[in-house]
Amino acid sequence: MTAPKKASGTKPKGFPGQGHLITFQVRDLAETRTRLCDAGLAPTPIETHPWGATVMYLDDPEGNRLEFWC
């Protein structure tokens, strides 16, 4: 049996298809990122998609990817 993976935002781009993608729309992405980091979590840097959405991701220990966007 292998140990569970630690949650981090350092996985390569793309979602490997394990778990679920859970999306949260937030009012202030920078504030949300600061709060997650202050809680000891490691979300990805904030990115802007070509269509204008700003997003960041956080992977949980169960293999789910959390997407925060505004």
Is the CATH code 3.10.180.10 the one for domain 21-69? yes
| Whole-prediction pTM | 0.72
Is 68 exposed, middle or buried, given 0-12, 13-18 or 19+ CB atoms closer than 10 A? buried
Q: How is the chain split into domains, by residue range?
A: 21-69
Q: What is the pLDDT of residues 21-45, one digit of tens each?
A: 999 999 999 999 999 999 999 999 9
pLDDT for 15 = 54
- Reported as type and span, the H/E element at residue 3 is none
Cα 26 to Cα 28: distance, rounded to the nearest angstrom: 6
pLDDT for 19 = 84
Q: What is the pLDDT of residues 47-65, one digit of tens each?
A: 999 999 999 999 998 889 9
pLDDT for 13 = 55
Residue 2 has pLDDT above 70, yes or no: no
Structure tokens at 10: 């350092």
